[in-house]
Amino acid sequence: MPPLDIGTLSGIGYASLLAFFAFIGFEDLANVVEEAKVPHRDIPRAMVLTLVISTVLYVAVAAIAVAAVPVAELAASPAPLSLVFRTLAGVSPATISAIAIVATLNTILAQMTMAARVVYGLARQGDLPGFAGRVHPKTATPLIATALIVAATLALALLVPFERLAEGTSLATLVVFALVNLALLRLRHRKIHTDGPHIRVLLWVPAAGFVSCLAMMAAAVAP
């Protein structure tokens, strides 16, 4: 077990920030809450279930990787999962690369769809310019919002290195999550309740979320 000094803890925090990038997208369930029949019951269950399953899979993959290939060799490889796949299956890394490309494209399309929906919603409620909330008269889809998201995605993908993009995306998402948890704490402190059915969580849940977000953000900006 490595010594738990400042450098080690900072490295763990920074690694957690990059690993957090793999969990981006689960919050999109909140954007499809209108499609749920019993949202205050089904959406929290869906979020918890998908997070637990994904975490177990990520941990299993990490455990298999370090058991199959020496850690130093994994750290020196530009494509560690491809190295593990080749070592265990004896198949060309092109296979796992193709799988990763298909999976990534699916995730990107889902994220772009949700982002366009968020831009459309913000424009409709007056937080963004009104033209972004216009929909096509025939398809009833927010084409302008979608085009804005596509343009932003292409610019970031072509101009920003992947690691910096993943770090920046994770950091921005952590800022949003920290503010959401802080807002929940404020609502509980002021005892503000919404009309209709809603879910209520223990006070330590948003408190722990806020602290963990701050910890990972501190690890990202630490020298």
pLDDT tens digits, 58-102: 889 888 888 888 888 888 887 788 888 888 877 777 787 788 788
Q: Does a structural domain hold residue 104?
A: yes
Look up residue 35 and give its amino acid.
Answer: E
- Structural domain includes residue 121: yes
| 168 inside domain | no
Give residue 147's domain range. Answer: 90-159
Distance between CA 6 and CA 40 in Å, rounded? 41
Q: Has residue 3 been placed in a domain?
A: no
- Does residue 128 sit within a domain? yes
In the predicted structure, residue 8 carries a pLDDT above the cut 90? no
Q: What is the DSSP letter of 195?
A: S
> How many angstroms separate the first and last alpha carbons of the chain?
24
Domain contains 138 = yes
35-43, Cβ contacts within 8 angstroms, sequence gap of 24 or more:
40/197, 40/198, 40/199, 41/199
Q: Is residue 9 part of a domain?
A: no
The count of domains in the chain is 1
Query: What's the pLDDT band for 55 if we cut at 50, 70, 90?
Result: confident
Q: State how far the Cα of 162 lies from the Cα of 168, in Å rounded to an integer.
A: 10
Average pLDDT over residues 169-188: 85
Which residues make Cβ contacts (< 8 Å) with residue 168, sequence separation at least 6?
160
Task: Name the percent of the chain lying above pLDDT 70.
Answer: 83
Any domain includes 74: no
